[in-house]
């Protein structure tokens, strides 16, 4: 009987041990409330004179006294864990209390340290530009609290090429193909594509330049427009197919023509059927939507708003307009280590492309249809006073990344 009991217990322990380990999962998580600090705050008993000696005993480096000397702030050396030091301190008879010097942050927002971020009103509008309204932005800082994007997600910029040597882009750009000059050097000879690329994925939190919407997404440069910003539909169709074949999950088309085309429509279908989503600019003629934007729902069509959440005067409109994003005075990267400001739905579309990149980074299993609907159904209906609900001028409204990424709380 003892042998049977021993065998039974051994099996139980073995099976139990094999279930002990676990991994975090991107798709399901418990909010992480543990921050990293390398400092502790300590309260010594009144009258303890050898505080410095006590700190040395525990290998701590004093930073300063606070609250009129009642508490001492100290740095924990790299070789030691804060939790271990706290345990040691709490056992020290000279110490009343010790705790980690926790790090506080603005609730739910992440602001990058890029030097020009303050001028990117479209990501966070503080109302500092004359005539602008605070909060008339896409609320990107809230999205970054949930995801900063993934290197696995490639956003293709099918445009005039990209200046892949720009300091704010060189670590982010994948050199694709030049369908204009038929070579593998998609260098930008116009500037338009470089601006689009910067909005999507400029290197962020690097202390210089601008912030991209999708911090960690990679940008695939595909040149289909020449130095005058012109290109054949066939180049564009080729560019879309190429981008999808290279693994792009998002294809940004800040371009269009006034003539419908089965070639373009087929190219959009090819992208959608291969689990990629196309984002297309509505156009800047204050007229009907350009193609391929007019082929929504095979793409997400994007119009433009300004810094007061009003429709940009030039933004095209129509029944197939899905959403709007800021498209006036948009700061971005420009060839030759420069930055420039531009207007147009061309610069609204990459804000949406970056948002799609963030969404796919967090939720890689969503279909293009789910992505499109999630993006447009969480938009801010900013012209609801005059045109409540969906309308031809702003579609479902202005992109709102806070609503898109903040989970619905179910009681």
Partner 1 sequence: MKKIFLFLIFPLIIYAGDGLEYTISGIFGYRSLNVKIGDTDATLNYTQAGVNTTVLIDEAKVLYFGGTYGKMSFGDEMVFNELPISVSTKFSKPAFSVFAGGYFRPYSFSEDFAIFLNPEFSYNVSSHSWDISQSPYLEGSVDGKIYYIEGKLGLLLMYEGNETFEPYFGFYFDYYRGNVKFREKFNDLEGIQEEILKPKLPIMVTAGTNVYYGEKFSAGLSLGLLNGITATGFVGITF
Give dist(CA 42, CA 101) in Å, integer.
9
Alpha-carbon span 238 to 183, nearest angstrom: 13
Note whether 239 and 179 are within 8 A (CB).
yes
**Contact between 313 and partner 1 per CB under 8 A:** no
Cβ–Cβ < 8 Å for 299, 321: no
Least distance between partner 1 and beta carbon 120 (Å): 25
Nearer to partner 1, 46 or 389 (CB): 389
34 binds partner 1 (CB under 8 A): no
Residue 316 and residue 6: Cα distance in Å, rounded?
78
Respond yes or no: is residue 159 known to be catalytic.
yes
In degrees and rounded to multiples of 5, residue 97 shows phi and psi of -155, 150
Choose the catalytic residue: 114, 159, 168, 306.
159
The conformational region for residue 359 under phi > 0 = left, psi -120 to 50 = alpha, else beta, is: alpha
User: Which range touches partner 1 (CB under 8 A), out of 10-18, 72-80, 216-224, 272-280?
Assistant: 10-18
Q: What tokens appear for 180 in the block?
A: 């204009």
Cβ pair 404, 214 in contact under 8 A: no
Residues 6 or more apart from 388 whose CB is under 8 A from it?
A: 381
**Which one of 3, 29, 79, 107 is in contact with partner 1 (CB under 8 A)?**
29
Q: Residue from 15, 104, 106, 182 that binds partner 1 (CB under 8 A)?
A: 15
Closest CA relative to residue 206, chosen from 112, 105, 143: 112
Report yes or no: 186 and 180 within 8 Å, Cβ to Cβ: no
Toward partner 1, which CB reaches closer, 99 or 381? 381
Question: Which CB atom, from 120 or from 378, has the smaller least distance to partner 1?
Answer: 378
Is 409 one of the catalytic residues? no
Q: Which stretch binds partner 1 (CB under 8 A): 7-15, 151-159, 252-260, 350-358?
A: 7-15
Catalytic option among 58, 101, 166, 192: 192
DSSP string, 356-390: HHHHHHH-TT--HHHHHHHHHHTSB-TTTTTS-SS
**Does the footprint of partner 1 cover residue 207 (CB under 8 A)?**
no
Q: Running DSSP on this structure, what letter comes out for residue 73?
A: E
Of the ranges 17-25, 90-98, 103-111, 237-245, which one interacts with partner 1 (CB under 8 A)? Answer: 17-25
Instruction: Pick out residues in 371-410 that bind partner 1 (CB under 8 A).
Output: 371, 373-374, 376-379, 381, 388-389, 396, 403, 405-410
Q: Which is nearer to partner 1, 178 or 380 (CB)?
A: 380
Please list, in sequence order, all residues whose beta carbon lies within 8 angstroms of the beta carbon of residue 92, skipping any fewer than 6 positions away. 54, 57, 58
- Which of 28/67 has CB closer to partner 1? 28
Closest CB 407 distance from partner 1, rounded Å:
4
Which residues are at the interface with partner 1 (CB under 8 A)? Answer: 1, 5, 8-9, 11-13, 15-16, 19-20, 22-31, 362-363, 365-366, 370-371, 373-374, 376-379, 381, 388-389, 396, 403, 405-411
Give me the active site residues, please: 159, 192, 346
């Amino acid at each position: 009987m003892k042998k049977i009991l021993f065998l039974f217990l051994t099996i139980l322990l073995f099976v139990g041990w094999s279930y002990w380990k676990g991994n975090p999962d991107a798709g399901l998580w418990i909010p992480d409330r543990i921050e990293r600090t390398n400092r502790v705050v300590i309260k010594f008993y009144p009258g303890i004179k050898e505080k410095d000696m006590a700190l040395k005993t525990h290998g701590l480096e004093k930073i300063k006294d606070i609250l009129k000397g009642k508490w001492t702030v100290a740095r924990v050396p790299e070789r030691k864990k804060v939790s271990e030091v706290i345990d040691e301190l709490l056992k020290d008879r000279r110490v009343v209390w010790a705790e980690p010097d926790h790090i506080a942050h603005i609730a739910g927002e992440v602001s990058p340290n890029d030097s020009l971020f303050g001028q990117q009103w479209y990501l966070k509008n503080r109302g500092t530009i004359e005539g602008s309204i605070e909060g008339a932005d896409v609320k990107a800082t809230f999205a970054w609290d949930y995801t900063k994007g993934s290197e696995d997600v490639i956003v293709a910029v099918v445009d005039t090429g990209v200046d892949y040597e720009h300091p704010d882009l060189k670590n982010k750009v994948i050199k694709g193909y030049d369908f204009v000059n038929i070579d593998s050097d998609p260098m930008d000879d116009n500037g338009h594509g470089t601006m689009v690329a910067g909005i999507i994925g400029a290197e962020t939190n690097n202390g210089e330049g601008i912030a991209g919407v999708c911090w960690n997404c990679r940008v695939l440069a595909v040149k289909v427009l020449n130095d005058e910003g012109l290109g054949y539909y066939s180049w564009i169709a080729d560019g879309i197919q190429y981008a999808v074949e290279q693994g792009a999950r998002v294809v940004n088309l800040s371009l269009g023509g006034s003539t419908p085309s089965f070639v373009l429509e087929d190219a959009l279908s090819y992208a959608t059927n291969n689990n990629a989503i196309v984002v297309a600019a509505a156009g800047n003629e204050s007229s009907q939507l350009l193609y391929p934007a007019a082929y929504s729902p095979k793409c997400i069509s994007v119009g433009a708003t300004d810094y007061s959440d009003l429709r940009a005067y030039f933004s095209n409109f129509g029944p197939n307009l899905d959403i709007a994003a800021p498209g006036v005075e948009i700061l971005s990267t420009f060839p030759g280590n420069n930055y420039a400001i531009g207007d147009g739905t061309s610069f609204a579309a990459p804000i949406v492309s970056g948002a799609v990149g963030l969404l796919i980074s967090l939720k890689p299993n969503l279909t293009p249809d789910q992505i499109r609907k999630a993006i447009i159904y969480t938009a801010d209906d900013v012209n609801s006073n005059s045109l409540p609900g969906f309308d031809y001028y702003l579609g479902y409204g202005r992109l709102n990344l806070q609503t898109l990424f903040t989970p619905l709380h179910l009681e």
